[in-house]
C-alpha cells in the first residue's frame, strides 16, 4: 500500500465516529476507568490488542477520554454554583471564549431559554465565589447580567452517568473487579501533591502509573497508594467521557424545577435514578431543583417531563432549555461535535487572579 493510501485509510478510520463496539469499551471504562485491556478482554469478549487499538483511535481522534471527576467528599466541602449569564448578542462568542480559559468555570453551556450562557463553577468558599463572579465574570465586556444559584446538595453528577451498552452480567463483572482492589480510606483532604496528580489525571486519567509517579517525584507504589486514597475516600473519581453528538446523544437539556422543601430530598433521589439524568442538584432560590439530561432528540424532553410530573406529585417545571453548544465540560473544551480540542484542568482551590499575595 502506498503512503498516501495508508494516510487515507487512517483518516477514514478517524472519521468513522463511535460505533457499538466503541460504546461497549466506553461503558466498560466508565465502570473500570484504569483497568488493563487484558482485564477487560474477557467481559467484552474482545482480545486485548483490539481493545487497545480501538481506544487509541478514540483517544487520538479526541472522541473519548478518561478524566477526573469530583467525589462526594469534595463536592460537600467546596462551593459550587450554576451561573446564568445574559450577554450582548454580538459579543456572545467573545464572552464564552473569555470564560473558557478560567479554571473555576468548570462547565460552560451556550443555551436557549432565559440565559445565553450557563456556567457551572466551583471555588473553595463563598468569598472566593463572590470574587469570581464580581471580578472575573461581571467585568467581561459583553456581560449584561448574572444570576447565581448556589448548589446546596448534589443528588447525582455527570461522573455517575452511565451508558447502557453492556449487559447487566457484564457490568456486574466489571464493577466487582474494580471494587475488589479498592480499600476504603478515611478522607484527609486534598494536598498540594494531590492537586498535581489530579491535574495530570484531568488530561489523561489512564496515564501509566510510572509516568505519573515520575511526574510528581514519588515511587509507583506510593503513587498508587495516593490514587487509591483519593478515590476510595470519596474525594475524587475517574470518569470516561466521549463525543456524545457522534454517539447518538446530541441533546443536553436543563429543567428548572420547584418543589416543596419537604419533598426536595425524595424528588432529587427519584430523579437521580433516571437513565437520562446527567446532573441533579438542589439550589437556593424559588426554583430549588435543577435537572440536566442527555437525550437523543429534543422531542424526548416533553416525554420526560410528562413522566416526571406523573412520578413526582407536587413538582413543577418552571423553565426548560436546550444546550446549543456544550463549549466546556469539566475542564475539557469541546467543538460542536463534542470532540475534545483542549483541556483547562479544573482547580477549584486555585486563588482568583485578583487575590492578594496574603490570600494566596
Contact 276, 293 (CB under 8 A): yes
Chain-centroid distance of CA 89 in Å reads 27
Q: What is the distance between the alpha carbons of residues 28 and 181, in angstroms, rounded to a whole number?
A: 16
Q: What is the DSSP letter of 137?
A: I
Please tell me the predicted confidence (pLDDT) of residue 169: 82
φ, ψ dihedrals at 357, nearest 5°: -55, -35
C-alpha cell at 68: 477526573
Q: Hunting for cell 406523573 — which residue is that?
A: 310
CA distances from 274 to 14, 118, 213, 238 (A): 33, 23, 39, 21
Please tell me the predicted confidence (pLDDT) of residue 174: 83
Ordered by start, the domain boundaries in the chain are 3-72+165-242, 79-160+244-338
HEC per residue, 257-307: EECCHHHHHHHHHHHHCCCCEEEEEEECCCCCEEEEEEECCCHHHHHHHHH
> How many CB atoms neighbour CB 161 within 10 A?
19
CA distances from 73 to 153, 187, 189, 237, 330 (A): 12, 8, 8, 11, 17
Residue 79 bridge partners (DSSP): 123
The dihedral through the CA atoms of 44, 46, 48, 50 has a sign that is negative
What residues have CB less than 8 Å from 18, skipping those under 6 apart? 26, 58, 63, 64, 242, 243, 246, 247
C-alpha cell at 92: 456572545
The dihedral through the CA atoms of 99, 105, 107, 109 has a sign that is negative
How does pLDDT run along the chain (360 residues), one tens digit per residue?
Answer: 444 443 344 444 556 789 999 999 999 999 999 999 999 999 999 999 999 999 999 999 999 999 999 999 999 999 999 999 999 999 999 999 999 999 999 999 999 999 999 999 999 999 999 999 999 999 999 999 999 999 999 999 999 999 999 988 888 778 765 555 455 556 668 999 999 999 999 999 999 999 999 999 999 999 999 999 999 999 999 999 999 999 999 999 999 999 999 999 999 999 999 999 999 999 998 899 999 999 999 999 999 999 998 999 899 999 999 999 999 999 999 999 999 999 999 999 988 665 443 443
The dihedral through the CA atoms of 330, 243, 251, 300 has a sign that is negative
Please tell me the predicted confidence (pLDDT) of residue 1: 45
CATH number (3.40.630.10, 3.30.70.3460, 3.40.50.1360, 3.40.50.1820) of 79-160+244-338 reads 3.30.70.3460
Rounded to a whole number, what is the distance in angstroms from the first to the last CA of the chain?
59
Q: What is the distance between the alpha carbons of residues 242 and 353, in angstroms, rounded to a whole number?
A: 31
Contact 239, 33 (CB under 8 A): yes
Please tell me the predicted confidence (pLDDT) of residue 43: 92
Q: What is the distance between the alpha carbons of residues 348 and 330, in angstroms, rounded to a whole number?
A: 11
Give the count of alpha carbons within 13 A of 159, CB side only. 21
Q: What angle do CA 249, 46, 52 make, to 5 degrees?
A: 75
Q: Hunting for cell 498508587 — which residue is that?
A: 224
Please tell me the predicted confidence (pLDDT) of residue 13: 53
Please tell me the predicted confidence (pLDDT) of residue 189: 81
Q: What angle do CA 54, 55, 60 make, to 5 degrees?
A: 105
User: Minimal CA–CA distance to 22: which of 66, 55, 44?
Assistant: 55
Please tell me the predicted confidence (pLDDT) of residue 65: 98
Please tell me the predicted confidence (pLDDT) of residue 265: 96
Amino acid at each position: 500500500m502506498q503512503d498516501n493510501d495508508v494516510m487515507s485509510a487512517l483518516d477514514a478510520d478517524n472519521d468513522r465516529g463511535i460505533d457499538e463496539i466503541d460504546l461497549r469499551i466506553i461503558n466498560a471504562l466508565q465502570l473500570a476507568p484504569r483497568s488493563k485491556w487484558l482485564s477487560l478482554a474477557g467481559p467484552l469478549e474482545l482480545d486485548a490488542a483490539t481493545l487497545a487499538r480501538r481506544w487509541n483511535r478514540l483517544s487520538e481522534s479526541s472522541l473519548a477520554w478518561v478524566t477526573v471527576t469530583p467525589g462526594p467528599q469534595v463536592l460537600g466541602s467546596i462551593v459550587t454554583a450554576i451561573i446564568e449569564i445574559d450577554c450582548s448578542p454580538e459579543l456572545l462568542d467573545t464572552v464564552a471564549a473569555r470564560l473558557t480559559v478560567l479554571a473555576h468555570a468548570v462547565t460552560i453551556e451556550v443555551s436557549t431559554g432565559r440565559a445565553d450562557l450557563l456556567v457551572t463553577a466551583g471555588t473553595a468558599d463563598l468569598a472566593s465565589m463572590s470574587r469570581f463572579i464580581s471580578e472575573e465574570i461581571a467585568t467581561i465586556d459583553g456581560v449584561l447580567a448574572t444570576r447565581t444559584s448556589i448548589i446546596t446538595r448534589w443528588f447525582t453528577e455527570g461522573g455517575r452517568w452511565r451508558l447502557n451498552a453492556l449487559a447487566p452480567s457484564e457490568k456486574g463483572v466489571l464493577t466487582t473487579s474494580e471494587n475488589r482492589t479498592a480499600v476504603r480510606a478515611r478522607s484527609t483532604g486534598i494536598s498540594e501533591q494531590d492537586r498535581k496528580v489530579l491535574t495530570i489525571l484531568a488530561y489523561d486519567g489512564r496515564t501509566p502509573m510510572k509516568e505519573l509517579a515520575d511526574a510528581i517525584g514519588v515511587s509507583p507504589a506510593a503513587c498508587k497508594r495516593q490514587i487509591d486514597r483519593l478515590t476510595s475516600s470519596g474525594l475524587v473519581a475517574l470518569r470516561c467521557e466521549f463525543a456524545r453528538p457522534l454517539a447518538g446523544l446530541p441533546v443536553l437539556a436543563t429543567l428548572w424545577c420547584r418543589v416543596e422543601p419537604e419533598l426536595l430530598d425524595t424528588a432529587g433521589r427519584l430523579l437521580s435514578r433516571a437513565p437520562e439524568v446527567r446532573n441533579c442538584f438542589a439550589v437556593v432560590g424559588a426554583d430549588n431543583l435543577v435537572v440536566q439530561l442527555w437525550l437523543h432528540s429534543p422531542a424526548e424532553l416533553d416525554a420526560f417531563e410528562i413522566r416526571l410530573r406523573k412520578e413526582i406529585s407536587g413538582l413543577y417545571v418552571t423553565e426548560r432549555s436546550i444546550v446549543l453548544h456544550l463549549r466546556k465540560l469539566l475542564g475539557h473544551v469541546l467543538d460542536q461535535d463534542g470532540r475534545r480540542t483542549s483541556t483547562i484542568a479544573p482547580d477549584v482551590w486555585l486563588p482568583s487572579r485578583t487575590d492578594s499575595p496574603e490570600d494566596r
